[in-house]
Amino acid sequence: MAVLASRALTRIALRTVMAQSSGVEIVAEATTPFQLQHAVAVKRPQALLLDDADPAWDTAEVLRGLRENAGRRVGVVILADAGALDDALAYLCDGADGVVLNDDAPAEVATAIRAVAAGHAVVPPPLARRLVDLVGVRRPAMPAQDQMAALTAREQEIFELVIKGMSNQEVAQTLVLSERTIKFHVSNLLRKLGVRNRTQAIVYARDRRLLPGPAPCVNP
């Protein structure tokens, strides 16, 4: 059983596709937060498709509400914009079970809903790459102390700004250096720390208590 909480055209397309295939029955559709809460409480669906682009609700708030009510466990698939993968990653951290992109074919979205209803997780390839990067940072090539000691004073200074979320341009302005110089130093420090990108650098810092906040999930 599934609940569709999305814009009208998406609901119509999915209703048509899923009516032609077996596996999951659409038991309710929601266009307001109240309808959504009522559908989950009364129908107790196995899966919920939540359209992140629908202005009717706040996706993060919906996920928090579902997470806090253990008696209404439901697998959540987020319909996300391909240009907002950072948000999609945050939703997975908040408890979503799958992500599909709003330019995916209705049949693909329907397949994802069935998979999540069966207890599986589903993510598009671009987001899977992000997740692999986050997992990869868990296995440093050398002890953390040696990695940090390998950084020059300037690289450590830049690293502290990078893990605060600053862009290369912002770091350059803060240190009164050229953006090209900052890019050079960032490339070097990432290599020395054994991480591939800024996302992994932030996870690295949180794992080692160099930055406040939980380590497992981070907004890149």
The model carries a pTM of: 0.60
Fill in the amino acid letter for 80: A
Pick from 157, 124, 147, 123: nearest CA to 195 = 147
Across the 220 residues of the chain, what is the mean pLDDT of every consecutive 10-residue run? 71 77 78 88 89 87 78 82 80 86 86 88 84 60 64 90 86 91 89 82 76 45
Pick from 192, 98, 206, 211: nearest CA to 148 = 192
* Predicted local confidence at residue 175, as pLDDT: 93
Question: Which CATH number is associated with domain 145-206?
Answer: 1.10.10.10
* Predicted local confidence at residue 214, as pLDDT: 43
Please state whether 77 falls in left (phi above 0), alpha (psi between -120 and 50) or beta: beta
Q: Structural domain boundaries of the chain?
A: 1-136, 145-206
The class level of CATH for 1-136 reads alpha beta
* Predicted local confidence at residue 77, as pLDDT: 92
Inter-residue contact 24 to 18 (CB < 8 Å): yes
The two tokens of residue 199 are: 């996302």
Pick from 7, 44, 41, 47: nearest CA to 23 = 47
The two tokens of residue 44 are: 């107790």
The two tokens of residue 75 are: 């697998």
**What is the CA 155 to chain-centroid distance, rounded?**
29
* Predicted local confidence at residue 146, as pLDDT: 67
